[in-house]
Amino acid sequence: MLAQTQNKAPDNLGGGTLLTTEVLHILVFFSASLLAFFIFYESVLIPLTLLIAQGGSGGGRLRAGILFFTYTLGGSAPILIATLFLVSDQGDIISLGIEAIVSLSLLVGEITGLWLAFGGSFAVKTPLYPFLVWLIHAHAEAPLEGSIILAGIVLKLAIFGVSAILLTLLWSGSLGPMTFTLTLGLCSLLLASLAILQQLDLKGFVALSSVAHIGMGTLGILSLREDGIAGAWLLALAHGLVSPCLFLIAGGFIYKSFATRLIYPFRGGGVLAPFIGLTFLLATLANMATPLSPNWVAEVLVLVALAYENKAICLLSSSSITLGAVYSI
């Protein structure tokens, strides 16, 4: 499904777009009110869409850009609706802070509705199964820097939203549809890992492994334990370093050397470029959560937290370690 041509952003587009994207990401993480969070959360879509639709060189870049924009923007509409609903209780949209949700007098049904609204949006942005169509097309057509930003930063926005908003709703006195949300995270983890087994494109390998790792991080946050939440954020940090490294090698060095991202043509490439081969090996070992790597520490924390809360989900989630070793090898 992924294109075999490498995309490269034009010089007159890449610099300004990347700088704008960086500023908007910083503003998202520093947002104190729900309105500011929504504005900056959605504004990130504009430079990223330009980077994919105009910066790519593949034949489907325009379609991928439109799919990315419409899919993620439509998925975020429930956040606006939920914010407006909260304003009806608070009365001041400017001063409605994320932490203020705890002090609002909300019924259990209202909290459940808010959970579905915010959780559904974050499931699209993460993305969780079955909302990952846009991610595959975006990585296929995006330039190298676009793929690095998507994997290293954009996917973390949803993790931040889940931690800041969904956990706040939990502290308001309702568990919400926890079973449904945990099932989505588990399906994303297992189905993405299985899909990688038939993936021949290295960029597709890295993209789908990102879905699996973010699924594990979502499970860690929703375990409602400190060790699980800490493991989720450590996994997000480790993934933000390892995944861009793999994209740099797969979409950068390997493509420039072999003019393809398919796996089979460059067997033995480590002999020609031992340093790149060693770096790719170490990044892959970290990506598959080899013991003593940050990914391994993070996944152990998440699994320990899940073992206390739901042993069945913990057992199924632990199979991702085996699947990760299989598809990486």
Greater confidence (241 vs 110) lies with 241
Q: Say whether both 102 and 206 belong to one domain.
A: no
Q: Say whether both 167 and 258 belong to one domain.
A: no
Nearest to 253 by CA among 287, 229, 279: 279
Is residue 55 within 8 A of residue 18, CB to CB? The reply is no
- pLDDT tens digits along 273-304: 778 778 888 888 888 888 888 888 988 898 88
Q: Say whether both 145 and 221 belong to one domain.
A: no
Question: pTM of the entire structure?
Answer: 0.78
Q: Which of 26-35, 184-193, 257-266, 317-326 is predicted with the least confidence, judged by mean pLDDT? A: 257-266
At residue 154's C-alpha, the angle toward residues 153 and 157, to 5°, is: 95
- pLDDT tens digits along 242-256: 888 888 887 777 777
Which of residues 160, 176, 192 is at a domain's end? 176
Give the mean model confidence (pLDDT) for residues 303-320: 83
Q: Say whether both 185 and 75 belong to one domain.
A: no
What pLDDT does residue 3 have? Answer: 43
Q: Say whether both 135 and 21 belong to one domain.
A: yes
Q: Is the pLDDT of residue 171 over 70?
A: no
Q: Say whether both 45 and 121 belong to one domain.
A: yes
Q: Say whether both 128 and 271 belong to one domain.
A: no
What pLDDT does residue 9 have? Answer: 44
Q: Say whether both 156 and 210 belong to one domain.
A: no
The CA distances from residue 173 to 6, 79, 163, in Å, are 50, 20, 16
Q: Is the pLDDT of residue 5 over 60?
A: no
Q: Is the pLDDT of residue 129 over 50?
A: yes
Give the mean model confidence (pLDDT) for residues 160-187: 68
Give the mean model confidence (pLDDT) for residues 76-89: 76
What pLDDT does residue 114 have? Answer: 78
What total number of domains does the chain contain? Answer: 2
Q: Is the pLDDT of residue 234 over 60?
A: yes
- Integer Cα distance of 22 and 27 in angstroms: 9
What pLDDT does residue 123 have? Answer: 79
Which of residues 133, 155, 176 is at a domain's end? 176
- Integer Cα distance of 212 and 272 in angstroms: 31
Is residue 304 within 8 A of residue 240, CB to CB? The reply is no
What pLDDT does residue 1 have? Answer: 44
What pLDDT does residue 265 have? Answer: 64
Task: Give me the chain's average pLDDT, please.
Answer: 76
What pLDDT does residue 110 have? Answer: 73
Q: Is the pLDDT of residue 326 over 80?
A: yes
pLDDT band at 48 (very low <50, low <70, confident <90, very high): confident
What pLDDT does residue 11 have? Answer: 46
- Domain that residue 71 falls in: 1-176
Which of residues 176, 203, 236 is at a domain's end? 176
Q: Say whether both 133 and 216 belong to one domain.
A: no
Q: Say whether both 158 and 181 belong to one domain.
A: no
Q: Which of 162-166, 213-217, 259-263, 295-299 is predicted with the least confidence, judged by mean pLDDT? A: 259-263
Q: Say whether both 12 and 145 belong to one domain.
A: yes
- Integer Cα distance of 180 and 264 in angstroms: 39
For the CA atoms of 79, 75, 179, 185, the dihedral, rounded to the nearest 10 degrees, stands at -120
What pLDDT does residue 98 have? Answer: 65
282: left (phi over 0), alpha (psi -120 to 50) or beta: alpha
For the CA atoms of 58, 72, 179, 159, the dihedral, rounded to the nearest 10 degrees, stands at 90
Q: Say whether both 44 and 33 belong to one domain.
A: yes
